[in-house]
Amino acid sequence: MIVEIDRLEARAVQLALVNDYGSEAETVNRRIIELDPTNVPATTRLAKWLVKHQNADEAIALYRRALELQPSNQIARNALTELLPKKSVGAKGVTRSKPTSLAGNPAVVVPVQGYYLRAMLEHPDELTTLNFGWHAGAGEKPKRLVEPERLCRQLGYLPFLFRATQQEEDASEAFSGEATHAGLAGIIVHGNTSQYGKLAPYLYDTRVERFVGYKRADELGAEIGTFYVVAALRELRKPIAYGEIDLLSKARKLSPKFRRGYAIVDLPAELRDWQEPAIATWNRLSNSVGLEGLRNRNGVVTDWILTGQAGSLTRLAE
């Protein structure tokens, strides 16, 4: 049965990647759920198929089922918010009059060197570790991805919108930012924690610098604020101007002049179809190296395990 589920799951993801909502997509996902009623990705994929085929009632029931199985599932939460307008959705599909703290679909906007992004695109089937905060000034503590780390633990995954930085562009007074790439992070850890110390060899082996032959900033003596592991990077066909991106917690757009640090935004609607296949890509790649997030009853990641090729188990808890 496991072999059949793996085969069906691979086909379902393939269909989702090309936005194929024909009869095969329904058949494959229904069969996965029949074999494994707790399969959340198949449940949300089938629900989306039902929405496309004008069957909102069954779709709502499936999205609610997905939230019962995984309360942190943002795909189901966002879908229910759209299907049940003017009401927010609780952990088990119960509507509330006030918005929850996870209203919207959180994503992170950060600048990354363009040559790193180009190199990552050439290695689509590899997990890549990036770093944040190494450029702190003399005497300053490196900045950390504090809120993104919390959200990633709570949701299990977090989309990143990258701006490919160009030195000449950044120095221009006419600078106006735009997101040029999207990727999905499944692990975010701060450099000054015990969790990082236990995960450091893995993060070193997957660092982005290995693609371009550079030394990592911490190898050169710089202190790192946060490391984050990304999969499913894609270059946007049409860059999204910062002025078109909504900040998640404020009733305004992201500033076109945003250059440094990070911003928490609402994932643009045109990237919603990318998110689910991106999660499937992250799961496939992380499973191949033995990474697994352990969640509590609320779906929050509380621990990581990493199984090596020899089957050894390393616990990565803080």
Query: Both tokens of residue 140?
Result: 């300053």
269 pLDDT more than 80: yes
pLDDT-derived band at 311 (thresholds 50, 70, 90) equals very low
Q: What is the pLDDT of residues 213-259, one digit of tens each?
A: 988 888 877 888 999 999 999 999 999 999 999 998 877 999 999 98
For range 35-53, the mean pLDDT: 90
- Which DSSP state fits 247? B
Confidence check: pLDDT of 309 > 50: no
pTM score: 0.73
Residue type, 120: M
Q: Give residues with Cβ within 8 angstroms of 229, minimum separation 6.
A: 127, 128, 129, 130, 185, 186, 187, 188, 203, 206
pLDDT digits over 165-182, tens only?
876 666 667 788 999 999
The pair of structure tokens assigned to 101 is 């703290």
**Helices 40-52 & 23-35, crossing angle to 10 degrees?**
150
At a CB cut-off of 8 Å and minimum separation 6, what does 123 contact?
211
Quote the pLDDT of residue 111. Answer: 94
Question: How far is the C-alpha of 233 from the C-alpha of 157, rounded, in Å?
Answer: 14
Beta strands 106-113 and 158-165 are parallel
At 121, list the tokens. 């695109």
**Cβ atoms of residues 157 and 186 within 8 Å:** yes
Mean pLDDT of all residues in the chain? 83
